[in-house]
Structure 1
Amino acid sequence: MEVVKKLVSVPPAWDEASQKALLQPYDHIASKPGKNFRSKLIGVFNMIYGIPEGKIELVTRLVDILHNASLLIDDIEDNSQIRRGLTASHLIFGTPMTINTANYMYFGAMEILQDIARDDNVLLRDLMVIFNEEMINLHRGQGLDIYWRDSLPKIIPDDQMYFNMVMNKTGGLFRLTVRILERLTAAPLPFSLVPLSNLLGIIYQVRDDYKNLLDKQMIANKGLAEDISEGKLSFPIIHGLRYGQEKDDTTLLYILKLRTTDASLKHEAIDYLQNTSKSMDYAKRTIAELTALAKSKEYIPCQAYAEASAQLLNVVDYLSKL
């Protein structure tokens, strides 16, 4: 019992080998980074906020960890087989381990807030509030996305419902970034970039939904029309389902309910969305309209921050490229 007495009198032991074992699912997905879009966006935002480089690096690391960890959970919830051209982590390391690792990394990201705040307890409290609020929003959005998918055809959301869900799910990390930077800036600005971050999240997701069905690079990274296999209610699929309701046509609904991996059925669904419901055209028009809105002076402060505004316009153009 002496060993137990010694053990319980100190913090739990943890070593590098245990850490390495626990991080395997995370390290697998992080071994092939994405396009670092979020890191670049933080740099553009900071042209306005002027946060010291050391703190910006910490914010970037925090957001990167949250993004990668959320992908581990997404792939489980969506039954994804491929991520970034690699076998999904849960198929290699198992679902229980991958869930635990993703949750572990969420708290690892939270720890970075202490490094950002240092000994400023008021700042730490404010950052923790922002972090918790946006993590709640993220899970609300993801939860609705899953609920709609698994309740089909009970609920087929309209555009406003979809945009609100996306603001929570996809816009959460954009908004988290901006809110942290706004709290860290030395002098408060006369405007907020939170509305722009919400809009960027919507554009990002609608474009992602579009490309999932047609883009060759995304097909190479994630497989052919993975959203159809998942039964996901993506933006063009929602439009196609609502068209089917109006026309009493259950073609798309039938294929979605199958959760099929059959390529011919997937191509049939894509053809329906392109040529029957015209949902791909609708998605393309919506992206163009959202892009025009994001470029307006209402969302991008053109006069006082000319260089940053030009870079933000480039970001919007990048997000809208199909």
Structure 2
Amino acid sequence: MEYHYSHLVDPSSYDNEGLCDGIPLRVHRNSDLEEMGTIRLRNDWNFFVGPLPITSGGSMGPIYNFTSVTMPECRPDRLELVSYMVELGFLNDDSLDTTKVPEDVALTGEMVYRRNEGIDKAMIKDRKSGEGQILANFAKEMMSIDPERASEVMKYLRRDLRVRHNGIKFKDFDDFLEYRVVEDSGSDFLIALSVFGMRLTIPREEQQTCFELTRPVWAAAILTNDVQSWDKEYKFTQMQDKTDMTIMTNGIWVLMKQHSIDIEEAKRRVLQKVKDFVAQYVITLEKNKTRQDLSLDSRRLIEAMQTLSDLQLNRIKNGWPSHIVQVQPCHLHGTHVNGAEGTHISGIETPDPLLMEHLLDLDHAVIHAPARYIQSLPSKCIRDKAVDALNVWLGVPEADIIQIKQIINILHNASLMLDDIQDSSALRRGKPSTHTIFGTAQTINSAGYQIIQAMNEVRKLNDPQCDDIFSEEMGNLYKGQSLDLFWTFECTCPSIEQFLKMVDCKTGGLFRMLAKLMIAKSSLTSTPELATLMTLIGRYFQIRDDYMNLTSSDYAKQKGLFEDLDEGKYTLALIHAMGTAPEEQERLLRNILAQRRILGKLPLDHKKLVLDHLELCGSMDFTVTALEKLHTAILKEIEKIDQEYGQQNTLLISLLSTLKV
């Protein structure tokens, strides 16, 4: 199996105590995306359900994050959503924390009742069901990305969300383990989630075989979890005043009752069984490399399952079982959680935060919020489609394609956030602009942070040439924007040549960047020269956008009626009119634009007057003619490259046809 999205961790940097010998530790290269999903779920939990469980550790670990290790080959474009679901599972589990007061047991019971409702429409409509709303939103987002694989995830999730009782009595340990693996491990759901995350296709006739082959890893995961959660489950059972302790569904307890042994001996035997199951799976993995009776994706899934277990959770979240120290969160920095004064955390001296070098990391949710908002708005994904179309010629590996798309989308959204501030735009894609919700200062800060994030993503391409491309084109983008802002502020009309140069820098910059990055990562020995094509596409895209702003009712709904005139932007049509109109008409246009500076925007009748003069000067027809010339030139450039490489780029031609005026 080829690994595209993760890297190996040096085995000498951690100690697995022999519990998973032969299982390598890999970490996803985009752990920041997992953190975004985790933080988003926690915010949603606070909003829809209530305060986080007081003992919640969640999926973010002190060194590595859970999903980044258990699903290291999850596609980056799906990692955030997968992590969102994983974190929901952790919060459900952590809500059973036995150190909480008895009232919290009632709350937990209510949550279990909610889980029993499943995710039926009745549950989704019930606004009191916070978790139901979270699951509904999760399902909707998954279905929009990949309906077929999402349906499988939701099918098994619905099945696994039914209530599980701690009241089943088992004949022996084998009977217990069979029940846990088949009925109580969530294995089908987690396999479906992995298939979704990795975008695998598992033939129906091979699905049962995949499950059977992965049984040892699920057994190992279950037993490791039993050791980890023993204290919590035992105390929770005591809190419920259970007199019949035989109903505990935990491997340690089953062995204690079956063999009349104490807790420590039962734990030792459970951990030995973990080692045995892992050893079995290592043999399965070795055989899997040469199997011919399974599809490639089935074999990829079997290999991927080696990390999808709570074995990895212990590495990340709690250390290995012998290292787990339970600290009751009764006091925090000298103050009890109920407000009473104190000086310790469960008897442990609390360090003075003023003198601590390493404090808890700041929450990233605030700085990501404006960017997440604009990402949520509807988009035609033109740049993503352009990347896919160019790859017909360039043959860039899929992992790099995903990375380049992510870079371009981060930069595009950051530029939109800044553009809306600089242009005083109230609407973006038919919704309130980001700065009207989060404030100008916070939006600027978030946009700047996104640009740094994009730079970090470029570095992950591991190519100095890509770093130079990023730096050069980002510089061009800012230079182009500076001219656009200068002409607007000074009410100075540029020449058509100056305008086109500004467009080449500002709009063409991102198109050239994506093309250059793709060429740098191309697997081909010879690649086409795309600079001219990208410059022409950038010009077409900007001039078309300006034209549609003046003529399209759909654009008016998305951005506001004739918004470019409110912003005082000099478009190709306006520049043509200013340069060809008689002196009296030109003076009239200048006076109207001057009023925009005084009023902050133009009244509707002033806008209509400007449009009348643009028509009189033939400027709208001039713009249409310019777009037709550009369209023809782009098609010729595509045809030239097609002939040179012997492959017709129908994707790019199709994309261009959707933009034709």
TM-score by length of 2: 0.45
- Structure 2: 5+ residue stretches without partners: 1-350
What's 1:104 paired with? 449
Quote the residue 1:146 is aligned against: 485
Q: 1:88 aligns with which of 433, 439, 452?
A: 433
Q: Among 312, 318, 321, which residue is 2:658 paired with? A: 318
Say which of 561, 566, 571 aligns to 1:229: 566
For residue 46 of structure 1, what is the amino acid of its counterpart?
Answer: N
Counterpart secondary structure, 1:196:
helix
Q: CA deviation at 1:47?
A: 1.2
Counterpart in the other structure of 2:649: 309
Cα displacement (A) at 1:6: 2.6
Distance 1:70 1:297, change over 3 A: closer
Partner of 2:215: none
What is the CA-CA distance between 1:27 and the residue it aligns to? 1.4
CA shift in 2, pair 1:115/1:238, >3 Å: same
> Mean Cα displacement is larger for which, 186-195 or 37-46?
186-195
Moved more, 94-103 or 252-261: 252-261
Letter in 1 for 2:529: S
Greater C-alpha radius of gyration = 2
Structure 1 partner of 2:240: none
1:24 paired residue among 369, 372, 376: 369
Name whichever of 278-287 and 247-256 sits farther off.
247-256
Between the aligned partners of 1:201 and 1:6, the Cα distance in structure 2 is: 52
Specify the code of the residue in structure 2 equivalent to 1:58. Q
CA RMSD of aligned residues (A): 1.9
2:506 pairs, out of 165, 169, 187, with 169
The answer to whether the Cα contact below 8 Å between 2:384 and 2:405 also exists between their aligned partners in 1 is: yes
Work out the percentage of aligned pairs sharing the same amino acid.
32
What does 1:248-267 correspond to in 2, within 5 Å? 249-259=586-596, 260-267=601-608
- Give the 3 Å change call, closer, same or farther, for CA 295–95 of structure 1 in structure 2: same
Task: Indicate how the Cα distance of structure 1 residues 270 and 188 shifts in structure 2: closer, same or farther if over 3 A, else same.
Answer: farther
Deviating more after overlay: 232-241 vs 293-302? 293-302
Q: 2:470, 2:398 → 1: CA distance?
A: 21
2:460 alignment partner in structure 1: 115
Number of residue pairs matched? Answer: 307
Deviation at 1:168, TM superposition (A): 0.2
Q: Any conservation in 2 of the 1:140–1:168 contact (CA below 8 Å)? A: yes
Aligned to 1:181: 518
Q: 1: CA distance between counterparts of 2:647 and 2:429?
A: 33
Offset of 1:262 from its aligned partner? 1.3
Which residue matches 1:62?
407
Q: Is the 8 A contact 2:393 2:647 kept in 1?
A: no
CA deviation after TM superposition for structure 1 residue 90, in Å: 0.8
1: CA distance between counterparts of 2:382 and 2:646? 21
CA shift for structure 1 position 62: 0.8
| Secondary structure class of the residue paired with 1:249 | helix
Secondary structure in structure 2 of the residue aligned to 1:296: helix
* Cα contact 2:368–2:446 (8 A) shared by 1: yes
Contact 2:508 2:539 (C-alpha < 8 Å) held by counterparts: yes
What is the CA-CA distance between 1:300 and the residue it aligns to?
4.2
Question: In structure 1, which of residues 111, 123, 126 is the aligned counterpart of residue 465 of structure 2?
Answer: 126
The AA in structure 1 aligned to 2:401 is I
Q: Secondary structure at the match of 2:586?
A: coil
TM-score, length of structure 1 as denominator length: 0.90
CA distance in 2, matches of 1:13, 1:237: 54
Given the superposition, is the C-alpha separation of residues 297 and 24 from structure 1 closer, same or farther in structure 2, using an over 3 Å criterion? Answer: closer
Report if the CA contact (8 A) 2:392-2:649 is conserved. no
Residues 26 and 68 in structure 1, CA contact (< 8 A), matched pair in contact too: yes
Cα distance in 2, alignment partners of residues 245 and 143 from structure 1: 30
Larger deviation, residues 21-30 vs 205-214: 21-30
Gap regions ≥5 residues in structure 1: 118-122
Equivalent pair of 1:55/1:116 in contact (CA under 8 Å): yes
- The structural deviation recorded for 1:311 is 2.6
Contact 1:48 1:305 in 2 (8 A): yes
State the shift of 1:297 in Å: 4.2
Match of 1:120 in 2: none
- Give the Cα–Cα distance (whole angstroms) in 1 for the partners of residues 619 and 360 of structure 2: 55
1:258–1:188 CA distance, 2 compared to 1 (3 A): farther
1 CA distance for matches of 2:450 and 2:578? 37
Distance change in 2, residues 1:187/1:307 (3 Å):
closer
Q: What is the aligned counterpart of 1:14 among 361, 365, 374?
A: 361
Q: Does structure 2 conserve the Cα–Cα contact (< 8 Å) formed by 1:291 and 1:317?
A: no
2:533 paired residue number: 196
Distance 1:79 1:60 in 2: 28
Higher helix share: 1
Aligned match of 2:636 in 296, 303, 309? Answer: 296
AA aligned to 1:156 is C
Q: Deviations 1:80-100 (Å, cap 9, x if unpaired)?
A: 010011111111111100000
Kindly provide the CA deviation profile for residues 256-287 of structure 1, in whole angstroms up to 9, marking residues without a partner as x: 2222331111111112112x111110000000
Equivalent position amino acid for 2:624 in 1: K
Q: How far off is 1:242 after superposition?
A: 1.4
CA distance 1:188–1:235, shift in 2 (3 Å): farther
CA offset at residue 185 of structure 1? 1.1
Larger RCO: 1 or 2 (CA < 8 Å, sep 6+): 1
Confirm or deny: 8 A CA contact 2:577 2:586 kept in the other structure.
Answer: no
Question: CA 1:190–1:22 in 2, change beyond 3 Å: closer, same or farther?
Answer: closer
Please say if 1:287 is aligned against 2:624.
Answer: no
1:264 alignment partner AA: D
Summarize the Cα distance change of 1:237–1:147 in structure 2 as closer, same or farther, 3 Å threshold.
Answer: same
The aligned amino acid for 2:439 is G
1:62·1:109 contact (CA, 8 Å) conserved in 2? yes
Shift of residue 299, structure 1, vs aligned partner: 7.1
Q: CA deviation at 1:135?
A: 0.4
